[in-house]
Structure 1
Amino acid sequence: MSDPVVQTREKNSSFWATVKAVAWSFLGIRRGKEFQEDIGRLKPYHLIAAGIVGVFILIGILMLVVKFAVSA
Structure 2
Amino acid sequence: MEDQPHQQVHKRPASFLATMKAVFWSFFGVRKRRDYEQDAANLNPVHLIIAGLIGAAIFIGVLVLVVRFAVSQ
| TM-score, normalised by the number of residues in structure 2 | 0.84
Alpha-carbon distance, 1:23 to partner: 0.4
Structure 2: state its 5+ residue gaps. Answer: 1-5
Q: Moved runs in structure 1, 4+ residues, more than 6 A? A: none
Gaps of 5+ in 1: none
Q: Shift in Å at residue 2 of structure 1?
A: 6.8
Q: Distance in 2 between matches of 1:46 and 1:3?
A: 24
CA RMSD of aligned residues (A): 1.5
1:67 corresponds in structure 2 to 68
Instruction: Kindly provide the amino acid, as one letter, of the partner of residue 14 in structure 1.
Output: S
| Aligned ranges 1:1-72 → 2 under 5 Å | 3-4=8-9, 7-8=10-11, 11-72=12-73
Among the aligned pairs, what percent are the same residue?
47
Flag the structure with higher helix content.
1
